[in-house]
Amino acid sequence: MRKILSLILTLAMALSICSFAAAETAGMPELNTTDEITITFMTWDDFELTQALADAFHELHPNITVEIIQTTTADCTGTLINLAAENNLPDVYFWLDLDPLLANKMMLDITPYIENDEEAQTKLYPSLRRVGYVDGKRCYFMAGENLPAIIYLDQAVFEKLNREMPAQDWHWEDLLNLIETMTDASQGIWSYNYFMGPVTLGPIALTDNVTGEFGWDGEDYHFESGWVEMVEKQFEYARLGYQAIQGSDAYLAVVPDDLWPGESGHIAIQMDAYWTLNNIYTQPAALERGLKMVPYNSPIGEDTENGGQFSWLDMVSLSPTCEHPREAYEVAKFMTWGKDGWLVRAQQYPILTNEAGNPIYRVPGSLPMIQDEEVNAAMAAIMPALTDANGNVYWDDWAGFFAAIENPVTFGGRTIPGFNTFITDYYHGSDYAGNTGIEAAISAGAIDPYDYTDTLNTAGRQYYDDAMAVFYSVYGTAE
């Protein structure tokens, strides 16, 4: 049945793409359909999929060729700075760190395109519609890839403890309740382990109109909202023994081989990344250990009207030296968040193979960034039912999972000017009652975090203002 549905969707998607491509978005300049145009596109990952998307774009627009330039995350920033110095930036490129792009004129103002693009204004997740507006007026980048934080709940552990799994539309308070009640030392079970923990996820989940880390709303930080409570709880959870701490005596007594807690079978909750599902939790080793990890989106606060959900969002910009910016915008959209491209992805994810002929993706490599029933249906149809070591399905509610995605918000260094310097030099680097870094001081009991919320808000804003002064000196002010 699943295969039949996929075939039907594939046909529907192909028809949809052909009809959509024939129409121009209202208010946008028409695409050049006659001149032979090459658009260079730089990325560091998913090269087979990227080439498939480039080929699909060329089929829709035969006069436009997309040339893929490969880089790595480690080399990306340095390569871009060097190419900018040579006046040889790719037409479209992924990037990781905002501040170097503010200090060098490397990004094209795409406001005329994105604000006249109906799909961008109506289908992008609400939080992503605000991405890229460095000065609040001009847009210089878009979200290019969405890899959300996932809260994995081990169904096997819940069954062992005779506890009920929450619904997909849960809240932050539900997560905290589980963390505080799922530890059972008599059975060698800890409540949780994390890659990104409450200090990172909580302020985003618990702050209204949030656009960045630590409650950033586009103008100011709000350390009093989420952070101050979560930084205390995170250290308290460790002290109370709710967190599985790899290498500790307590952990080694239960897991002598010191296996990573997230694949030990001894934790109820793993706060981690989307790609862990493909890399670990659908792999034979985890299944043979009895793990039955169910993915949940990072929840939003119960009383938060417009909270966010942390995600690894990779950003994409156009070069100011691009000769064909209208066509480059269309390439960037198709290759990243646009509906047409996502319908192609839904076709390609199940069939792409590596050089050995093995499937590249057990699970699609990233998730959509738009609210669209057709895209969600296409993706839900190809998402794998999760099975145990015996092949029995233990979870298959991808429709519920997609419906619970609301407001992706990413690392501050990708959206907030001055963030990385603020975090490195001030948050983690300053002296707090004889401790280097505020979290170290809180952990040591040397300071009360409630005494520092205003100080952190003020300092963070100053670093932002300093970075914006650099930006204005390079890009000028809005007219």
Residues 165 and 270 in one domain: yes
Pick the closest to residue 262 from 343, 350, 361, 151 (CA basis): 151
Q: Is 397 part of a structural domain of the chain?
A: no
How far is 295 from 400, CA to CA, in rounded Å? 11
Taking CA atoms, 383 is separated from 216, 357, 386, in Å, by: 33, 20, 9
In the predicted structure, residue 21 carries a pLDDT above the cut 60? no
Number of domains in the chain: 2
Q: Give the structural domain span for 12.
A: 2-147+311-386
Cβ atoms of 318 and 91 closer than 8 Å? yes
Q: Give the residue carrying structure tokens 């149809």.
A: 381
Whether the full predicted model's pTM is greater than 0.95, yes or no, is no
Amino acid in position 206: L
Residues 296 and 443 in one domain: yes
25 by Cβ neighbours in 10 Å (0-12 / 13-18 / 19+) ranks as middle
* Average confidence (pLDDT) over 443-465: 97
Residues 169 and 194 in one domain: yes
DSSP β-bridge partners for residue 92: 41, 318
**Would you tell me how many other CB atoms lie within 10 Å of the CB of residue 471?**
22
Torsion on CA atoms 137, 138, 144, 147, rounded to nearest 10: -30
Q: Which residues lie below 8 Å from residue 168, measured CB to CB, with a gap of 6+? A: 296, 297, 397, 400, 401, 403, 404
Return the structure tokens found at 49: 């999929």
Residues 130 and 44 in one domain: yes
Tens digit of each residue's pLDDT (9 = 90 or more) over 247-286 = 999 999 999 999 999 999 999 999 999 999 999 999 999 9
Tell me what the pLDDT averaged over the chain comes to: 93
Q: Is 139 part of a structural domain of the chain?
A: yes
Residues 142 and 274 in one domain: no
How far is 423 from 420, CA to CA, in rounded Å? 5
Q: What are phi and psi of 309, to 5 degrees?
A: -125, 120
In the predicted structure, residue 23 carries a pLDDT above the cut 60? no
Residues 180 and 238 in one domain: yes
Residues 171 and 248 in one domain: yes
Residues 154 and 298 in one domain: yes
Q: CA-based Rg of the chain, rounded to a whole angstrom?
A: 23
Q: Is 334 part of a structural domain of the chain?
A: yes
Cα angle at 369 between 107 and 343, to 5 degrees? 110
Residues 97 and 71 in one domain: yes
% of residues, the chain, pLDDT over 90? 90
Eight-class DSSP state of 168: T
Q: Is 158 part of a structural domain of the chain?
A: yes
Residues 182 and 296 in one domain: yes
The CATH number covering residue 435 comes to 3.40.190.10
Residues 228 and 330 in one domain: no
In the predicted structure, residue 2 carries a pLDDT above the cut 70? no
Q: Give the residue carrying structure tokens 């070069």.
A: 319
For residue 25, name the pLDDT band (cuts at 50, 70, 90): low
Q: Is 405 part of a structural domain of the chain?
A: no
Q: Is 142 part of a structural domain of the chain?
A: yes
Residues 92 and 159 in one domain: no
% of residues, the chain, pLDDT over 70? 95
Tens digit of each residue's pLDDT (9 = 90 or more) over 325-377 = 999 999 999 999 999 999 999 999 999 998 899 999 999 999 999 999 999 99
Query: What pLDDT score does 161 carry?
Result: 97
Q: Which residues lie below 8 Å from residue 319, measured CB to CB, with a gap of 6+? A: 89, 90, 91, 92, 93, 106, 107, 108, 328
DSSP H helical segments within 191-316, as ranges? 198-205, 227-240, 249-254, 275-276, 284-288
Q: Is 179 part of a structural domain of the chain?
A: yes
247 by Cβ neighbours in 10 Å (0-12 / 13-18 / 19+) ranks as exposed
Q: Is 219 part of a structural domain of the chain?
A: yes
**Would you tell me how many other CB atoms lie within 10 Å of the CB of residue 17?**
20
